[in-house]
Amino acid sequence: MIKEFSKGRTLVCRLPHGADLLAEIQAVCERENIRAAWIQAIGALSSLRFAFYDQREKTYGEKEPAGSYEILSLSGNISLKDGAVICHAHIVAGDDEGRAFGGHLVRGCTVFAAELVINELAGPALSRVKDEVTGLNLWAEN
Ligand code: ZN
pLDDT tens, residue by residue, 77-114? 999 999 999 999 999 999 999 999 999 999 999 999 99
CA of 122 to the centre of ligand 1 (A): 23
Q: Which residues are found with C-beta within 5 Å of the ion, ligand 1?
A: 104
pLDDT over threshold 90, residue 142: no
| Nearest-5° Cα angle at 119, 139 to 37 | 20
Query: Which residues are CB-contacts of 110 (< 8 A; sequence separation ≥ 6)?
Result: 18, 19, 20, 21, 45, 46, 47
pLDDT range class, residue 18, cuts 50, 70, 90:
very high
CA of 89 to the centre of ligand 1 (A): 6
CA of 53 to the centre of ligand 1 (A): 8
- Section 69-84 average pLDDT: 97
